[in-house]
Amino acid sequence: MFFDFLKDLRRRDHKPGFGGLDILKYIGPGLLVTVGFIDPGNWASNIAAGSEFGYELLWMVTLSTIMLIILQHNVAHLGIATGLCLSEAANKHTPVWVSRTVLISAMGASVSTSLAEILGAAVALNMLLDIPIPTGAVMAFVFVMIMLFTNSYQKIEKFIIAFVSIIGLSFLYELTLVDINWVQAGIGWVKPSIPQGSMIIVMSVLGAVVMPHNLFLHSEIIQSRQWNLEDEKVIKRQMDYELFDTLFSMVIGWAINSAIILLAATAFYTNRTQVHELQQAESILKPLLGNHAAIVFAIALLFAGIASTITSGMAGGSIFAGLFGEPYDIHDSHSRLGVMTSLVIAMLLVFVISNPYQGLIISQMILSIQLPFTIFLQIYLTSSKKVMGKYVNSTSTKTTLLIVGGIVVLLNVKLLVSFF
């Protein structure tokens, strides 16, 4: 297995010095998670939030990111302390009916995620080159499969870091072209508000930021940075570096998601312009902000779609391999089947979706519905001394995680009530 080989190699030959440069070398796993919550599904949810409600739903990005940091930091500890990803740990330490139920539903969430990612890349190709969305979806699918099946994790990580940088720089450029009301934005970031008719969008923002597949993915890829599981000092330092990586990466994601809402609020909401599809958002930007802004928007969307499709496929492979008690390894048949299941089903669904923009939003809402199952599975595992040993959750950590899970359940109940 690739990760097993990597762990053994680093245990034998590399004991880190933990200097300043080691911190920079450690950055990477968090950014792979970050690209998952700046994906096209987020773009659709955030554009809907900003164009329909202005700055009022910025608080949801803040809350979701705080929840995400807590959850991702905790699940990374599971990977570091046990050498198991969330899927493997569930298979090993929970009854079969529990692990199968949660992991199969997580595969469904992975398919829903992949659907949003492939759709986003296809929409971007349509914006840039006028390629039909079904054709663009096939092109994106083929490119991602080549990337996943022919590149090592280290190469993919470098690609993702470059993609995230391009996306971030694109939105910095976009923000220089609009006049933001920073006072209202500041209030929106910290003042909870659920305007009439916004519940579906609130839940889609939650599902787009706190994504189930990312919890499985982070617990897997964090192990690429493990050196010596027998040395407690090394494990402790790894956990400290992981916190830095997670905080650094999640703050970047918060900034990019906020930037999308700010752009939509300023360019669309203030002009009372309703956005019903991402292509429309690009065409509206041309007269408002100039042709370059529209092109930059589409390029950033393409990179977001490709990068997040790659990580979604990896997550699907990790979840499926975990059903058989195995780590993610693209050369293993179970991991390959998981990647194929996630991406092929998603690509086929593209052909039956009549409204890609609504499809993106609904796909993110579906993630929020599955999310409580993954969260409470994670809490159970990381709160078990049998699983975590001396690194088991403290009482305060467990309480915080339960509060996060409770908030997600409460928002799901409010979503259900909103339909009646």
Q: Give the pLDDT confidence of 335-353 residue by residue, as tens digits.
A: 999 999 999 999 998 888 7
- The span from the CA of 298 to the CA of 148, in Å, is 23
Sequence length of the chain is 420
pLDDT of 79 reads: 87
For residue range 225-252, what is the model confidence (pLDDT) as tens digits?
555 455 666 666 677 677 777 888 888 8
pTM for this predicted structure:
0.80
SS3 277: coil
Are the CB atoms for 328 and 4 separated by under 8 Å?
no
Which domains occur in the chain, in start order?
2-418 (1.20.1740.10)
Which H helix or E strand runs over 2?
Answer: helix 2-13
Token output for 361: 């939003």
pLDDT in tens, 23-57: 555 565 667 777 766 777 777 788 888 888 989 99
Give the model's pLDDT for residue 9.
34
Q: Which two tokens stand for residue 324?
A: 């058989």
Q: Could you tell me which residue, 128 or 32, shows the higher pLDDT?
A: 128
Mean pLDDT computed over every residue of the chain: 80
- Give the residue carrying structure tokens 């916190």: 243
pLDDT greater than 50 at residue 13? no
Q: Are 246 and 69 in contact (CB under 8 A)?
A: yes
Give the residue, 264 or 234, on which the prediction is more confident: 264
CB 160 within 8 A of CB 311: yes
The residue among 279, 272, 311, 253 whose CA lies nearest residue 114 is 311
Task: Give the other-Cβ count within 10 Å of 13's Cβ.
Answer: 8
* 23, 244 Cβ separation under 8 angstroms: yes
Cα 211 to Cα 228: distance, rounded to the nearest angstrom: 30
